[in-house]
Chain A
Amino acid sequence: MIIDLLGYGAFFMSTALIFALITLGLNLQWGLTGLFNVGVAGFVAIGAYASAILTTPDTVDRIGGFGWPIALGWIGAALIAAAAAAFTGYATLRLKADYLAITTFGVAVVVQLVALNAQGLTGGPFGVAFIPRPFAGVQDQPVLFNFANLAVVAGVTLAVYLALERLSRSPWGRVLRALREDERAAIALGKSAQSYRIQAFAVGGGVMGLAGAVQAHFIGFIAPDNYLPTLTFQVWAMLMVGGSGSNRGAVLGAIVVWAIWVGSGTLTAAVVPGDFQARAASLQIVAIGVMLCLILLWRPQGFFGPRRKSS
């Protein structure tokens, strides 16, 4: 019993920290730079599929299966997702902010479409299976396996967290904040708004891709259904609850919202009769949507972010 609980705790934390990783990427784009990304699920999916294709063993009916080591797959995933984000940014960031939102929405739609239909690349609706999992050697000892994986996920999250903290305090991060607060002043100081924004959007997209890859290897199997708009929506709720602009808030928000999500899901599964479970699941999304709107109305700074900016 205790062993099961420990194992489940480790599993829960690993999933929550992967969400934290995605939220950190979104925080760089939105919290620090003010870029609105409605296609989070698309960039996560790009990373997941990229790493899956790079690391799985050779497959007959699908491109790739290059059998690379996991770490190289993760780096590749981050780079490919960053490139996709950079191109999206290049096409839209010289225009008004809304165009970026609409385009990222389109990116998510198209990635979903490619995942479903380009069978030779993504395995189609059945997805990609047999993605190598870290520490597969100890898979028969669930507790050890779960904690080893948690250590990897936590390590990656901590590394990204520290890197982003450092970046946001660096001169580069200061330019981004300056652009968000007063674009004209920053441009007058000779900073190219478009170029800095593309860089921030690309780095954020890379972090999302990395998170997608980590998740793919954690579960060992990916399918198009993992990357529906609901994912984007959950990540936004996490960032808004945590408080956009704060990396600490992003991580805490991810854990809290994921706990609420899993908790309410378990509760409805236990209480609600079988026929109504699909309906109860939609009600869960309604609740999160209403919560997002209420936070925007009443507490735009979130719950774990920095207290009201004085400077």
Chain B
Amino acid sequence: MSLQFLLDGLIAGSMIGLGAIGVTLTYSILRFSNFAHGDFMAWGAYAALAVVGVLGGSAPMKPLSFGWPLLVAMIVAMGLTALLALALDWALFARLRARGQSIIVVMASFGASMALRSLLEFMFTSRPTYFSRAIQMATPVGLGIKITADQVALLVVTLALVTGMHLMMSCSQRGREMRAYAQNPALAQVVGIDVAKVVRATWVIGAALACASGVMVGVLVQIRPLMGLSLLLPIFAAAILGGIGSVPGAVLGGLIIGLSEAAAVQFVGAEWRSAVAFVILMGVLLVRPMGLFGVAER
């Protein structure tokens, strides 16, 4: 038996985890589950593709399959995706949030998700595209596991993003404000926390991480308009498994979902992969709805 599935699961899981951070923050701070979050990933990936096109090709940095333009493009695309999220919040979510019915906001995000996804299909057609079509050689690292240079690079980037995110949430002033607002919005306003800034930071962080995750999926697999939709269920499952509102929980939940999916592919069959997230989700909801690191809903 090959242990390769452990590595595949780890990589898929870290992308799910990056997406789940955004979902868990939106849920705990803005109080709604954002069905358009998966589409931020797809938009981010296409934005990066467009920026790469503008920057022009350059020789890949061996042994990676991509060169510096992709790194620049990813950072630019993270900004663009954040702008998209802020625009959507300004035009739609903020107005509905002000009316106070959170489930209406969920419904709006569902409508927005459908529109965003189909807009991508309109602009780029539903045919998958790639950052690079080069085939990479995988290097054996023992125990029957092989790894490509791209995979190593993406794991490093993920680790850096998650660490940075964790430091920001636990040490910076804005991070403390976000956590305070999530725990008790009324009290947070009383002590003078600027809600508008907290809301903006939430969208920027969530969208930027979604974009990073979308670009990585694009590098390792492919880019297509439906990529966000197919990751949405694993992302929600990861956020709930980790405990809504907990950033480390979202990452750990993502890794667990990714590893379970990879195990399912290995032992059950690749066609059932997408069912794994649902089974885990149902299990968590029935047994421990607050998740691993969550606190009971007040």
Task: Indicate if B145 sits at the interface (CB-CB under 8 A).
Answer: no
Q: Which residues of A contact B122 (CB under 8 A)?
A: 279, 282-283, 286
**Contact yes or no, B108 A296, CB < 8 A:** yes
A34→B103 CA distance, assembly (Å): 9
**Contact yes or no, B232 A91, CB < 8 A:** no
User: Chain A: interface secondary structure?
Assistant: helix
**Contact yes or no, A117 B271, CB < 8 A:** yes
**Contact yes or no, B115 A98, CB < 8 A:** no
User: Which of B135-143, B248-256, B282-290 contacts its partner?
Assistant: B282-290
A36→B108 CA distance, assembly (Å): 12
Indicate the member of B103, B111, B122, B282 with the most A CB atoms within 10 Å: B111
A297→B110 CA distance, assembly (Å): 14
A38→B108 CA distance, assembly (Å): 12
Task: Please name the residue on chain B nearest to A295 by beta carbon.
Answer: B111
**Contact yes or no, B92 A285, CB < 8 A:** no
Task: Indicate if A68 sits at the interface (CB-CB under 8 A).
Answer: no
A169→B65 CA distance, assembly (Å): 65
If the complex has contacts A38-B35, A283-B122, A296-B111, are A91 and B285 also in contact, measured as CB distance less than 8 A? Answer: yes
Q: Which residues of A contact B126 (CB under 8 A)?
A: 278, 282
Q: Which residues of A contact B92 (CB under 8 A)?
A: 293, 297
If the complex has contacts A109-B278, A113-B275, A116-B271, are A99 and B285 also in contact, measured as CB distance less than 8 A? Answer: yes
A300→B108 CA distance, assembly (Å): 11
Task: Indicate if A72 sits at the interface (CB-CB under 8 A).
Answer: no
Task: Indicate if A101 sits at the interface (CB-CB under 8 A).
Answer: yes
Task: Indicate if B272 sits at the interface (CB-CB under 8 A).
Answer: yes
**Contact yes or no, B102 A97, CB < 8 A:** yes
5 nearest CB pairs, A to B: A289-B115, A292-B111, A285-B118, A282-B121, A106-B278
Interface residues in chain B, defined as those with a beta carbon under 8 Å from any beta carbon in chain A? 27, 32-33, 35, 92, 95-96, 102-104, 106-108, 110-116, 118-119, 121-122, 125-126, 229, 232-233, 236-237, 240, 271-272, 274-275, 277-278, 281-282, 285-286, 289, 297
Interface residues in chain A, defined as those with a beta carbon under 8 Å from any beta carbon in chain B? 34, 36, 38, 91-92, 95-99, 101-103, 105-107, 109-110, 113, 116-117, 229-230, 233, 236, 278-279, 282-286, 288-290, 292-293, 296-297, 300
